[in-house]
Chains A and B, each alone.
Chain A
Amino acid sequence: MKRAFEKPGRALLSRGVAYALNRHRSKLLVFSLLLAGSYAHAQETFPVNGIADPKDRCFAFTHATIVKDAQTTLSNATLVIRDGKIIDAGPGAAIPKDAVVVDCKGKYIYPSFVDIFSSYGQADVKRTGGSWNAPPQFLSNTKGAYGWNQAIKSEVNAVDLFSTDEPKAATLREAGFGTVATQQMDGVARGTAALVTLAGDKENKVIVREKVAAGYSFDKGSSTQNYPNSQMGYIALLRQTYLDAQWYRSQPAKEGVNLSLQAWNANQQLPQIFEVKDKWDALRADKVGDEFGVQYIIKAGGNEYQRMPEIAATKATFILPLNFPGAIDVEDPNDARFVSLAEMKHWEMAPSQPAAFEKANIPFCLTAADLKDVKSFLGSVRKAIEYGLSEQKALEALTKTPASTLKVYDKVGSLEAGKLANFLITSGPVFKDNTIILQNWVQGNRYLVKQDGWNDIRGIYTVSLSPGSNITVEVKGTATAPLLAVLQKDTLPGRIDINGKLVTLSLPLVKNGRSNVRLSGLISENGWSGTGVDTSGASVRWNAAFARTAPARSDSAKKKNNVDIGQLYYPFNGYGWDKMPQQQDILIKNATVWTNEKDGKLENTDVLVRGGKIAQIGKGLSAGNARVIDGTGKHLSAGIIDEHSHIAISNGVNESSQAVTAEVRIGDVLNPDDVNIYRQLSGGVTASHLLHGSANPIGGQSQLIKLRWGQDAEGLKVTNWDPFIKFALGENVKQSNWGERNTVRFPQTRMGVEQVYVDAFTRARDYEKQATGKRRDLELDALVEILNAKRFITCHSYVQSEINMLMHVADSFRFRVNTFTHILEGYKVADKMKAHGAGAGTFADWWAYKMEVQDAIPYNAAIMHKVGVVTAINSDDAEMARRLNQEAGKIVKYGGVPEEEALKMVTLNPARLLHVDNRMGSIKVGKDADLVLWSDNPLSIYAKAEKTIVDGIVEFDRDYDLQLRQRIAAERNRLVQKLLGEKKKGTPTQKAAFTPDEMYHCEDLQAGHQEGLGITTGAGF
């Protein structure tokens, strides 16, 4: 209200200003215009200080090319607006008598763009407290009757927090936007978004709809609460909140009033927008939505083009950002070495993302979010068009699709009667390179963007001097920055300076002449005229008349080459496939076959693989159509199964915030791009049990995968598999080595660890007995599964006392501990383990890395094996997993276990521990064809995996690997040359930076643990 009265004088003044504005004052005037708008639209409830000036403003824009929507373009048409709304648009639109007529000859009119992923008018949310070394925070710090988790902010409504922000609105308007859906980008559940226009009016007037969407993300934002601190934790929190909200509908007395859940339920009617950071996140989000019957609109991360079939299968509408990666400065070859091929390829391919969505027929919107500078928006759209996006689709993605997605197409998104008068006037087709946005009208208010080009004065003119002769000049350059040349025998460069309607000309008449004809005057629709002086200094009068358009120049029709964007790899990694391999029938001939069955080791034997299974074992088998691999002098073993691995996991291996996190699932966060999948295939690994870390007594649910290089997350998973969960004991769970501040979270002792289990399983048992209608608790569900032998434990463990303890707890709750992992003091309680029925997955010879491994011995596996415990050797380490066969070889050395038994410790025994020995772990007819062809005895340091076969597919081949290296070198070189070309062209570049790999050990607490180059080293277990 205050603003409306502030400067009425200027507001009135501005309304009288002609359309051609003083270049230097235009900013100021834009500002005053919006004040004018607010005055004109003053609300009924607001008192007026002065004399009322009611107006029913009507405008008619004539002779324009009107692009009503992406499908409909009308030539020589008229747009009529009144009081902020569109009245009519078309060639025959009637012009009301009271309309101010604006001649738009040569101009284009488009609906203003709509961005449905914006935080316009929302204050940044600052994280307060909770520094990285603060003591743990278990519950939300939000005051009031809200939920337990600070990252669930479903009660937040952007409309309550919204206040207009003119500088930001101006930037967005200049980029072509008229309407945005704004939300507070904070939390896993972000509350609701409001639809607002970018008019410089009072908040009351610019809000189009209070709630148009609800927002979500995998980012807790300002929440200082510890839970969740991993991506799988985010997913678990979302799942549990869906369940809690459903339960809350029954108005459970024990919960009281929970405004977060109440709002969550109310928000479900709105379109649900989920922001993700990359392609796998997009699939993860969609999967959560599917579980609860929610179809998210997904705000993409930028690399979704790498997995279009999966992205299309989500059936989601996407919101695509256009922050394409900048060129990398690879001038220094020693720096370029540390930029991965995947990163360079992403730079090259990212602008093709919108085109890829169009091609795949996936509905999508475009957003200016994520751009460092909104000014680059239109340029980015044009880049996407250069990379294959059609102009029509681009316009649709900026108008109809976003509007329809939020169900506000009745308000914005096209130029139809009844909609808001939000439109752009441009100098030409909006996505053409030289086109400029001249004006952006929002709710009937005019905002000048670039007025200088309104009148395109380019062409050939005849200037008549009086007294004097005629001079022919050409005005060229661009509409906004014209240049002048005097056309004679020699074309002479002159000067033209336009200031609003005033023009100054300086015309040379002879080459290298001392003085020019200098003219000053006015441009009007009736021609140019004014006063001046000739070369002798004598006063003249002049006028100029348009003679003709200039002949088209060849350079102005610059032809663009088709952009070459290289080839996709699966996964998107230097070693990825350019074409996914197919399963084939294979006959391996004449090898030494380590069957792991009662036949033992068979010399000179053939193994036939058909349909991904082992079909036949024997001598002299006929190949039929099968591919024949000569195994003469080589050894064939079952594929290695790593019972304890942390490869191929995204954004955190530990949900370390609570003592019990049975609800989190490694299967939710697989990372199929991890190069360690390929590296481990080269070491003969065919399956890996991916475990949650060891930060809490009851960690998360694990996932068994096969190393199917190039498959997506679902394709990696072993299906129909008994599910497992990670438990942990000892120093990690009692946080012995986490520093002095971590003495708060229960437990701090091995005594406390026992009580965590007793408490958790007691709660689970009681929970199981509860009547129907109970609150479903995903954490307790997993524990109930354990009690009912539907889920199995693999437990990180070191010292004998704690191993003993867990078996006692299990006995008292009548379940069995399936596997103890690490289990470095297993040799001390091997008899008890055998009696309990527990198996062991251990290291061959690790010790001395922490206090609780002081009694670890390399004979551990041998003793447990001899006592009768099913014993496996595992890695917990991406490096060691590449040579688990050698680690098995150490068991021959330490304790004299026979070779065939030692090999079983990395093949059949882990299969037994994982309950998949009916299909993996040995070479037996009918089992999965997971095989490794070794150059030597597989327990030898000299043995190399030459071929690794998974389900009958040769996933690793040492010969093909040599070809891949050449492909990597060639592709790197191509991209480096291309990047150097960019730098040479003057494209801004960013410093080459090391591309990290994501790698974990089981005690890594942080998401995004990166290792490499010795920036961090050392193992933690």
Chain B
Amino acid sequence: MKRSIYLLALAFGVSSAYAQETILPARPQDKPVYLTNAVIHVGNGQVIENGTVAFAKGKITAVGAGVTAAGDATVLDMKGQHVYPGIIAPDTKLGLVEFESVRATIDAREVGEINPSIRSIISYNTDSKVINTLRSNGILLAQVTPEGGIVSGTSSVVQLDAWNWEDAAYKTDNALHFFIPRLVNTGGRGFRGPQPRDPVKEGLEKVETVRVFFREAKAYLQENKHAATNIKFEAMRRLFNREQKLFIHCELVKEMLIAIDFAKEFNMDVVIVGGADSWQITDLLKQNNIAVVLTQPHSLPLMADDDIDQPYKTAAQLQKAGVLFCLSNEGFWQQRNLGFEAGTASAFGLSREEALSAVTLNAAKILGIDKIAGSLETGKDANIAVSTGDMLDMKSSVITRAFIQGREINLDNKQHQLYEKYQQKYGIK
């Protein structure tokens, strides 16, 4: 109730007209905050009943049952509420696309097959109306990922409360993205125009062009002096230094075998994105230390004969095999349902806390930001979402507060403002 008054003030008080433009990025945390009497879901599997999370200057300073507030601090009684690390959305076009069918609003796909120097952060639009609709569901970080061609460019992790892309940058250029063509024979039964005669052969040829490119880049980078500077090769330097990961987008076993082979040949930190059939090779993924950004559980089975709940239970199969994985969701606006994807994975085999890790700490590990994000542990950024009930179940998930780097962010969004507006119209508040 208190919150909605605050929102109303924001919508109608600050500005004469309702407008999302009035939802401002928050100021830096000025004094310590204590969230007390909460059920704390640390993100690493641990649950602290009736605990406290303390953070100052954007960093978590204490988490536990016996933490007490001291000095000039804001103490917020979260009695009965659940405190979670903010959800992290990997592999998304958030901020790159505003309307899927309107070409002018799409900045996700560049021309060319191999574009390692393309950087998604450049297009990331902090003023996208979509971003705020994610925050209000507890999604606080996102890996903004380009697509198109075979090597599409680099993604960056952004925090979702920023004035511009420089502010937003959380981990810049964290990964290069490689899309393996679908290696399956369609028997010429393609949709929308004729399929390649032998899509598998053509796909493998494309994979080989990438392999050749990688080898050339590696050779190029071993020599410092070049008469002609090759920007594409230069863009590969951090990858070979293992400062950047290689995210290989693939779904089927043969494609994943190629991904594993790339990891071996180039000694890179490879992550599989998609992995719809990863349940078939959990042992190989484990042996080769390959992490998986798993395609959304809310998918149909690949084949008519597949177990009807296969996409729901793949996460549990990876968990059981000890494969590091996190969950993803397609698109951009859809990310606000990422928590519920974890809920489904939990209904089909993960424990609740494992499901939470699958959208928080595991994602942070895979994106390379687990030192500063992904769980409610001392020293990490205070990226926190508070919910009245289970955040992974839509029936009970209502986010009441959220903090990014300790800043309490505004949970309003364009959609909620329209809701307010029309409740006024009908007098149904």
**Is the pair B191, A1008 in contact by a Cβ cutoff of 8 Å?**
yes
At the interface with chain A, which of B165-173, B211-219, B393-401? Answer: B393-401
Q: How large is the interface on A (under 10, 10 to 19, 20 to 34, 35 or more residues)?
A: 35 or more
**Interface residue? B422 (CB, 8 A):** yes
A941 and B99 contact, Cβ closer than 8 Å, known pairs A338-B303, A848-B332, A857-B419:
no
Establish whether residues A991 and B187, one from each chain, have CB atoms under 8 Å apart when the complex forms: yes
Cβ B298 vs Cβ A879 within 8 A: yes
Query: In the bound complex, do residue A340 and residue B303 qualify as a contact, i.e. CB atoms below 8 Å apart?
Result: yes
- Distance in Å from the Cβ of B330 to the closest Cβ of chain A? 7
Binary contact track A982-1021/B, C-beta < 8 Å → 1, others 0: 0000000001111111000000001011111111111000
* Binary contact readout B292-304 vs A (1 if CB under 8 angstroms, 0 otherwise): 0000001111111
The contact string, 1 if C-beta is below 8 Å from chain B, for chain A 844-879, is: 010111110111111100110011000000000011
CA distance A801 to B340 in the complex (A): 34
Q: Are B303 and A337 in contact (CB under 8 A)?
A: yes
State how many angstroms separate the Cβ of B309 from the closest Cβ of chain A.
8
Docked complex Cα distance between A214 and B39 (Å): 77
Q: Which of A828, A863, A943 has the most CB of B within 10 A?
A: A863
Contacts of B100 in A (CB 8 A): 848-850, 1018
Q: CB within 8 A of A994: which of B184, B305, B309?
A: B184
Q: Which of A675, A867, A895, A940 contacts B419 (CB 8 A)?
A: A895
Could you tell me if B189 and A850 are in contact, using CB atoms closer than 8 angstroms? no
| Known contacts A682-B308, A848-B100, A997-B304; is-contact A1017 B333 (Cβ 8 Å) | no
Contact A889 B252 (CB under 8 A): no
Do A889 and B394 form a contact, CB below 8 Å, given A334-B253, A573-B304? yes
A890-B133 Cα distance, complex, nearest whole Å: 14
* A994 with B99, Cβ < 8 A, contacts A889-B395, A892-B394 known: no
Q: Mark B334-356, 1 if CB is under 8 A from A, else 0.
A: 00110010011011000000000
Of B302, B304, B418, the contact of A574 (CB 8 Å cutoff): B304
Does B267 count as interface, using CB distance less than 8 angstroms?
no
Which residues of the partner chain B approach A679 to less than 8 Å between Cβ atoms?
300-301, 308
A845 to chain B, nearest CB (A): 7
| The one of A334, A676, A893, A992 that contacts B395, using a Cβ cutoff of 8 Å | A893
Docked complex Cα distance between A944 and B193 (Å)? 39
Scan B188-208; emit 1 where CB is below 8 A from any A CB, else 0. Answer: 111111000000000000000
A456-484 toward B: CB 8 Å interface, digit per residue (1/0)? 00000000000000000000000000000
Residues of A within 8 A of B425 (CB): 831
Asked if A972 is at the interface of the complex by the 8 Å CB criterion, the answer is yes
State whether A991 and B191 are in contact (beta carbons under 8 Å apart), knowing that A827-B422, A857-B418, A940-B395 are contacts in the complex: no
- Determine whether the beta carbon of B101 is less than 8 Å from that of A1015: no
Within the assembled complex, what's the spacing in Å between the Cα atoms of A573 and B306? 11
Q: Does A80 contact B (CB under 8 A)?
A: no
Question: In chain A, residues 793-848, which have Cβ atoms closer than 8 Å to a Cβ of chain B?
Answer: 827-828, 830-831, 845, 847-848
Q: A850 is contacted by which of B102, B305, B395 (Cβ under 8 Å)?
A: B102
Total count of chain B residues near the partner, CB < 8 A: 63
Is B186's CB under 8 angstroms from A994's CB? yes
Contacts of B303 in A (CB 8 A): 337-338, 340, 995, 1012
| CB neighbours of B98 from chain A (8 A) | 848
B39 to chain A, nearest CB (A): 17
Q: Quick check: B308 and A941 within 8 Å, CB to CB?
A: no
A923 proximal to B (CB < 8 A): no
From A891, which residue of chain B is reached at the shortest CB distance? B394
Indicate if A719 sits at the interface (CB-CB under 8 A).
Answer: no
Majority SS of interface residues in chain B? loop
B50 to chain A, nearest CB (A): 24
Name the contact of A941 in the complex, choosing from B185, B304, B340 (C-beta under 8 A). Answer: B340
Q: Is B232 an interface residue (CB 8 A)?
A: no
| Chain A, interface SS category | loop
For chain B residues 382-405, which have a beta carbon within 8 Å of chain A? 392-398
Asked whether any CB of chain B lies closer than 8 Å to the CB of A341, the reply is yes
Asked whether any CB of chain A lies closer than 8 Å to the CB of B415, the reply is yes
Q: Is B304 touching A854 in the complex (CB atoms < 8 A)? A: no
A488 at the interface (CB under 8 A from B): no
B408 contacts the other chain (CB 8 A): no
CB-based contact B340/A886 at 8 Å: yes
Q: Does A968 contact B (CB under 8 A)?
A: yes
Let me know if A342 is at the binding interface, CB within 8 A. Answer: yes
Complex CA distance for A219 and B186, rounded to whole angstroms = 23
- The answer to whether A893 and B185 touch across the interface, beta carbons within 8 angstroms, is no
Taking a contact as CB atoms under 8 Å apart, the answer to whether A831 and B426 are in contact is yes
B426 touches A867 (CB 8 A): yes
Q: Per-residue CB proximity of A80-100 to B under 8 Å, as 1/0?
A: 000000000000000000000
Instruction: Judge whether B251 is part of the interface by a CB distance below 8 angstroms.
Output: yes
In the complex formed, the residue of B with least CB distance to A968 is: B305
The answer, among B186, B298, B308, for a CB contact under 8 Å with A678, is B308
CA distance A911 to B302 in the complex (A): 32
Q: Is the CB of B330 within 8 A of A1017?
A: yes
Q: Which A residues touch B333, using CB under 8 A?
A: 847-849
B252 proximity list for chain A (CB < 8 A): 334, 1013
Q: Is B238 an interface residue when CB atoms closer than 8 A count as contact?
A: no
Are the CB atoms of B184 and A866 closer together than 8 Å? no
Within A557-596, the residues touching B (CB, 8 Å) are 573-575
Report B90-104 CB contacts with A as 1/0, cut-off 8 Å.
Answer: 000000011111100
Q: Most B CB atoms within 10 A — which of A334, A731, A889?
A: A334
B95 shortest CB reach to chain A, Å: 12
Contact of A893 among B276, B397, B422 (CB under 8 A): B397
CA distance A939 to B303 in the complex (A): 28
Contacts of A856 in B (CB 8 A): 415
**Cβ-based interface call for A737 (8 A):** yes
Alpha-carbon distance A895/B98, docked complex (angstroms): 25
Report how far A529 CA is from B128 CA in the complex, Å. 100
Query: Does the CB pair B415–A858 fall under 8 Å?
Result: yes
Q: For A993, list chain B residues within 8 Å (CB).
A: 185-189
Residues of A within 8 A of B397 (CB): 893
Q: B131 to chain A: closest CB distance in Å?
A: 11
Expressed in whole angstroms, the minimum distance between the Cβ of A418 and any Cβ of chain B is 50
Nearest CB of chain A from residue B426's CB, rounded to whole Å:
5
Knowing A889-B394, A889-B395, A1008-B191, the reply to whether A857 touches B347 (Cβ < 8 A) is: no
- By a CB distance below 8 angstroms, the chain A residues around B192 are 1006, 1016
**Residue A759 interfacial (CB < 8 Å):** no
Q: Are B347 and A1010 in contact (CB under 8 A)?
A: no
- Give B300 Cβ to nearest chain A Cβ, in Å: 5
Other-chain residue from A889, A899, A968, A1010 in contact with B191 (beta carbon distance below 8 A): A1010
Interface members, chain A 931-953 (any B CB < 8 Å): 937, 939-944
**B261 contacts partner chain A, Cβ-Cβ < 8 Å:** no
A342 with B394: CB separation less than 8 A: no
A497 contacts B by Cβ under 8 Å: no
A678 contacts which chain B residues (CB < 8 A)?
A: 308
* Pairwise interchain contact B419-A944, C-beta atoms closer than 8 A: no
Q: Does A630 contact B (CB under 8 A)?
A: no
Q: How far is the CA of A324 from the CA of B228 in the complex (A)?
A: 61
State whether A961 and B419 are in contact (beta carbons under 8 Å apart), knowing that A893-B395, A940-B393, A993-B186 are contacts in the complex. no
Return B391 CB to nearest CB of chain A, in Å.
Answer: 11
> Can you list, as one digit per residue, whether each of A130-149 has a CB less than 8 Å from chain B (1) or not (0)?
00100000000000000000
Which one of A574, A858, A882, A1011 contacts B305 once the chains associate, using CB atoms below 8 Å?
A574
Please give the distance in Å from A105's CB to the nearest CB on chain B: 51
Q: Interface code B280-314, partner A: CB below 8 Å = 1, 0 otherwise?
A: 00000000000000000011111111011100000
B393 touching A1015, Cβ below 8 Å: no
Q: In chain B, what residue has the closest Cβ to A344? A: B305
Q: Choose one: A849, A863, A1010; the contact of B422 (CB below 8 Å).
A: A863
What are 25 A-B pairs with beta-carbon distances under 8 A? A831-B425, A845-B336, A848-B97, A848-B130, A854-B129, A857-B415, A857-B416, A859-B418, A867-B426, A883-B298, A892-B394, A895-B419, A940-B395, A941-B393, A941-B394, A993-B185, A993-B186, A993-B187, A995-B304, A996-B186, A1010-B191, A1011-B191, A1012-B300, A1013-B302, A1017-B330
Given contacts A827-B418, A995-B304, 4 further A-B contacts (CB under 8 A): A676-B300, A849-B101, A889-B395, A993-B187
